[in-house]
Amino acid sequence: QPIGHGATISAPHMHAHCLEILKPWLKPGARILDVGSGTGYLTALFAEFTGPDGLVVGVEHIPQLVQTSINNIRADGRGALLDANKIVMVVGDGRLGDPENRGPFHAIHVGAASPTLPEALLEQLAPGGRLVCPVGNEGEHQQLVAADKSTDGKSVTRHELMGVVYVPLTDKEHQLARAA
């Protein structure tokens, strides 16, 4: 479903599936990164799991989408989470992770397909953490991948979960060109 600026919102069943895949990492006090946070819907859901001591950072490279997310979260009665910096929405290149480097993150969700698992995101993943990311090129076969970092932080185990179709994780200019 298009949400403007060349971005889409994933189908509700995909949000539910990603929540299920990440559920063991979505604990009170956890730090979560949501790359390509779009409308802020999934970002707000992550905050429900992490509780008052958690932190959820949503990264989107289109400023208007960041503002839409903030407006949506406030309209849903969760503005206090924004005010308390329990949910932080930022403009940035999600391929590089959190521009303020508030990690390491216990869980990272990526809402767009990357040709490979983004190395910068794996670096921001905490030891014992999980990254969920669609992997594959635009218009080609893509897989939803869960990448688990070992507890010593020295290795990553990749699990291919299912075939998916996502918009590409790209730069701002490519995304806006898709909208034209």
User: What three-state secondary structure class fits 129?
Assistant: strand
From residue 50, give the alpha-carbon distance in Å to each of 30, 59, 64, 74.
5, 17, 26, 18
Angstrom distances, CA of residue 19 to CA of 13, 46, 64: 10, 8, 25
What is the distance between the alpha carbons of residues 17 and 124, in angstroms, rounded to a whole number? 23
Omega cis (within 30) before 104: yes
Query: Could you read off the pLDDT of 118-177 as tens digits, one per residue?
Result: 999 999 999 999 999 999 998 889 999 999 999 999 999 999 998 998 878 877 676 556
Catalytic residues: 10
Predicted TM-score (pTM) of this structure: 0.90
**Per-residue model confidence as pLDDT tens digits over 16-73:** 788 999 999 999 999 999 998 877 888 999 999 998 899 999 999 889 889 998 998 9
Residue type, 173: E
- Pairwise CA distance, residues 74 & 162, whole Å: 34
Q: Which helix (H) or strand (E) holds 99?
A: none
Residue 17 is predicted with a pLDDT of 85
